[in-house]
Amino acid sequence: MKKIVFFLGKGGVGKTTSSAALSFYLSSENKSVYWISIDPAHNLSDIVHLDLHKKTQVNDFLFAEEVDVESYLKSFLHKTTVRMKEMYKYLQIVNLENMFDLLKHSPGMEEYALMYAMKEKIEENENFEYIVIDTPPTGLMLKILSLPFSSKMWIEKLVRWRKKIINHRAAIANINPKKIDKSLALEEENDKVLKELGYQSDYIIFLVNLLSDKSKCKMAVVLNEDEMSLSESLRIINGLRGLKLTLDFAILNKEGTGQKNSEQELNLPIIRIPYLRNAMDIKTLTNLGQRLEKIVK
């Protein structure tokens, strides 16, 4: 994989159009492209007129897919619940079954499911030269991008706390073995919780490293000529700054249809896309994509 490109921005500014334009242009240059939407409100299929619920070939070099968020959430919850029930089966006496069933109603589960979907889809398609990602609107996407970094911090703390628990447990067992249930691990390498944390850490570190690698990961914000669009773009810039991530380009879409923004506030290279009155076909999108090529250079 040479590059992965995220198109960010508020809803309706042209993220899907921009991601389509770059994807079609790169594929027209015989570059292999995996074009994916992780936005629950998908629009990719409207452009190519194909069912994209699974990875589908659009042309010789372009494959596209729309992540089925609902199915992925169910799969994510099922896998998580099975692993946790196995890990904590010694606590079934406290009706743990019902506690885990409440996971589906917990805040943030959709964001976690989308984060894992994004990770798995990127990893599964690393053989493509380019991965182009159409993203959800600002609020949801900032949460998804922040999760790997916050999760990494919490996992590191949980690992330290868990190791202390195991050490204390082993010390108690040395003094009075009857005080410790035989099913509980006394060594770190045998502890199921530590193994699960290691599993989660592998997922998280993959994303943290990828998002932080500016040689591979590129991010562009798409906006229009209106104050709300500019405000959302500045929110993205500030949100990413808190994660020590930066945007690479701003794409001013539908230029000439609104009041001029204070573009200097963005402090980014700007790619300008004029407003086109006619519906855009594949040829038009491909031509527009040539303007966006600089994002991946």
Q: Is 39 a catalytic residue?
A: yes
pTM for this model (two decimals): 0.89
Which domains can be identified in the chain, with CATH numbers?
3-296 (3.40.50.300)
Phi–psi pair at 64, nearest 5 degrees: -135, 155
3-class secondary structure, 225 = coil
Query: Which residue from 138, 249, 148 is spatially nearest to 201, judged by alpha carbons?
Result: 148
Look at residue 98 in the predicted model and tell me its pLDDT.
63
Calpha distance 99→93 (Å, rounded)? 12
Distance CA 104, CA 78 (A): 9
- At 38-48, the pLDDT tens digits run 998 888 998 99
Read off the pLDDT of residues 59-68 as tens digits, 9 standing for 90 and up.
999 999 999 8
Calculate the CA 265 to chain-centre distance.
26
Question: Which amino acid does the sequence have at 144?
Answer: I
Alpha carbons 179 and 168: distance in angstroms, whole number: 12
For residue 66 the two structure tokens come to 């729309």
> Which of 238, 291, 229 is CA-nearest to residue 262?
229
Which residue among the candidates 39, 46, 191, 226 is catalytic per the annotation? 39
Tens-digit pLDDT profile for residues 227-278: 888 899 999 999 999 999 999 999 999 887 666 666 678 889 999 998 876 6
Give yes or no for residue 285 having a pLDDT over 80.
Answer: yes
What is the per-residue DSSP string for 23-80?
A: HHHHHHTT--EEEEE--SS--HHHHHTS--SS-EE-SSSEEEEE--HHHHHHHHHHHH
Instruction: Evaluate if residue 92 carries a pLDDT over 60.
Output: no
